[in-house]
Amino acid sequence: MAGGNGKLAILGGPKSVTVEKLDRWETMTGEMIQRVKRVVEGEGLSTRGQQLARELEEGFAAFIGARHTVSQHNGTSTLWASFFALGVGPGDEVIHPDFTWICSIAPAMALGARPVFCEIDPKTFLIDPEDIERRITPRTKAISVVHWGGNVCDMDPIMEVANRHGIPVIEDCSHAHGASYGGKKVGTIGAIGGFSFQGVPGEGKPICGGELGMVATMDRRLYERVLLFGHVGRIDLMDKLHDPAHRRLAPYGLGLNFRPHPLGVAIAQVQFARIREQNEKRWAYTQKIIRGLEEVPGIDPLYIYPKAQPGGLFMGLQARYRPEDLGGLPRERYCKALQAEGVRVRAGAYADAFGASAAGVRHFPYHQLPPFSRGFDFYTHGRGPLWEGYEGYASSDYPQTRAALSRMLQLPILTDPEDGVVEQFLEAFWKVAKGYKSIL
């Protein structure tokens, strides 16, 4: 691709991106309001309204090929129930990638387990299968893999090491609705998977209902333990518990409540009806961007493992910055130049979100986050997973992850880009790559 030889927009030149509305994908607000109205006017807000949730569970199970699915009020709770199902408890260790979202770690910690971090693969920002085995100890109870951004972890080597050690894998599929690996949808490859359906259409998860989540598993025993943990009051609870050890906890299970909000279910159904179409469109856009960036100096586009098929593609499209191509131009300056051209590129993930900058705290890698780097007296009086015998982490630990994240870029994800948008995006990258010396 040629083009983009002009004066950079950050220096007062013309912007590369002139299309005003980038994405033609509609949020279907009218349809959502109609569905919500039917629930509020009918019986959908009461416990009798659980039928709505059952329909979404069945539809989603068919979509990903899972034997069992359970809807819950958010993604965090799906991982909480999943770790519980796996028997994670006090004294256990769980292996997590050093780059993830904290809600992927916290539920295991709340059950009493200590997080043990693992390097990420610099090409994908996903858990590095080669580092997992080094982190396994006799206390390792589960391996948590996160299909961050909708890209898919390298499941063959992960499952090989997990199976060899007899340790179950939990998949965090919050960003990866409908992604697959070797033809199997994520959430059905490890022992159990959790999906977040959080947020608002357009900027939330691909399937979203404000706050909502879904557990998936192929394993009847794990499914029953999920129901036992957080589904007091579920109208079909007793019908679903077959194992005598579970039935003896009738009629409430353990008495916790992770029930989804019925209006979250109603809204999510609107997006769920279009998830296949949305995934196809996002993947077409992603492929164009990846192919277009392959020749552009300064950036390596997202790497995808040979058997992986990304899906969902929440958060943005990751790429790796190569300052060595651009005379050492700092990443932040590179991003600013692209932003001036009209491409919403971010340096790293979750930048400046949640008041982190104000608090003077680095978000990543996770071993540097205060609760993990220094420990925390979770239950007071020196009790809890990050207390006795816990030494914390030094910021110099996990050099591979630190180096990878220092290069991370996030490009915008579009679903149905307006004509010319992809070309203008690519023009912007070329323009900055060719004109970088003017902003060194």
The nearer residue to a second copy, 235 or 403, going by C-beta atoms, is 235
With contacts defined by CB under 8 A, how many residues of the chain interact with a second copy? 81
CA 145 to chain centre: 10
Using CA atoms, how far residue 173 sits from 113, 288, 304, 406, 434, in Å, is 21, 24, 16, 24, 38
1 binds a second copy (CB under 8 A): no
In the bound state with a second copy, the residue whose beta carbon lies nearer, of 88 and 408, is 88
Is residue 403 within 8 Å of residue 122, measured between CB atoms?
yes
**Footprint of a second copy on 196-215 (CB under 8 A):** 199-201, 203-204, 210-211
Q: How far is the CB of 89 from a second copy (least distance, A)?
A: 3
CB nearer to a second copy: pick between 134 and 220: 220
- Of the candidate spans 128-136, 151-159, 177-185, 227-235, the one that interacts with a second copy by CB under 8 A turns out to be 227-235
DSSP state of 310: -
- 426, HSE (Cβ side, Cα atoms, 13 Å): 20
- Closer to a second copy by Cβ: residue 182 or 370: 370
Site for a second copy contains 268 (CB under 8 A): no
Compute the least distance from the CB of residue 46 to a second copy, in Å: 4
Instruction: Show contacts with a second copy in window 371-390 (CB under 8 A).
Output: 371, 374, 376, 378-381, 383-384
Q: Which stretch binds a second copy (CB under 8 A): 15-23, 159-167, 195-203, 392-400?
A: 195-203
- Shortest distance in whole angstroms from residue 14 CB to a second copy: 32
Q: With both helix axes pointing from N to C terminus, report the angle between 421-435 and 331-341 in degrees, rounded to the nearest 10.
A: 140
State how far the Cα of 203 lies from the Cα of 314, in Å rounded to an integer: 8
- Say if residues 56 and 272 touch (Cβ distance below 8 Å): yes
Q: Which residues contact 368 (CB under 8 A, 6 or more apart)?
A: 362, 393, 395
Contacting residue, 261, 288, 333, 344, with a second copy by CB under 8 A: 261
Nearer to a second copy, 310 or 384 (CB): 384
Q: Which of 19, 161, 256, 290 binds a second copy (CB under 8 A)?
A: 256
Q: Is 182 in the site for a second copy (CB under 8 A)?
A: no
Q: Does 304 bind a second copy (CB under 8 A)?
A: no
State the minimum distance, in angstroms, from the CB of residue 122 to a second copy: 25
Given 7, 164, 247, 276, the residue binding a second copy (CB under 8 A): 247
Cα within 13 Å of Cα(257), Cβ side: 5
Write the DSSP string, 197-253: --B-TTTS-SS--BS-EEEEES-HHHHHHHHHHHBTT-TTHHHH--SHHHHTTTTTT
62 contributes a contact to a second copy by CB under 8 A: no
Contacts of 81 (CB under 8 A, 6+ apart): 70, 72, 194, 215, 225, 226, 229, 230, 258
Residue 351, C-beta contacts closer than 8 angstroms, at least 6 positions apart: none
> Does 344 engage in binding with a second copy (CB under 8 A)?
no
Residues in the chain: 440
Interface with a second copy in residues 2-61 (CB under 8 A) = 29, 32-33, 36-37, 40-41, 43, 45-47, 49
Record the tokens describing residue 180, joined without a space.
Answer: 């697959």
Q: What's the rounded Cα separation, in Å, for the pair 212 and 226?
A: 16
CB of 291 to a second copy, least distance (A): 32
Site string for a second copy, 88-127 (x = CB under 8 A): xxxx----------xx-xxx-xxxx---------------
- State which amino acid sits at residue 116: V
Of residues 149 and 384, the one with the C-beta less far from a second copy: 384
- Residues in Cβ contact with 62 at an 8 Å cutoff, skipping those fewer than 6 apart: none
Determine, following the binding rule CB under 8 A, whether residue 348 of this chain makes contact with a second copy: no
- Work out whether 361 is an interface residue with a second copy (CB under 8 A): yes
Q: Rule CB under 8 A: is residue 403 a binding residue for a second copy?
A: no
d(CA 194, CA 173): 6
| Nearest distance, CB of residue 366 and a second copy, angstroms | 10
In the complex, least distance from residue 48 CB atom to a second copy, rounded to whole angstroms: 9
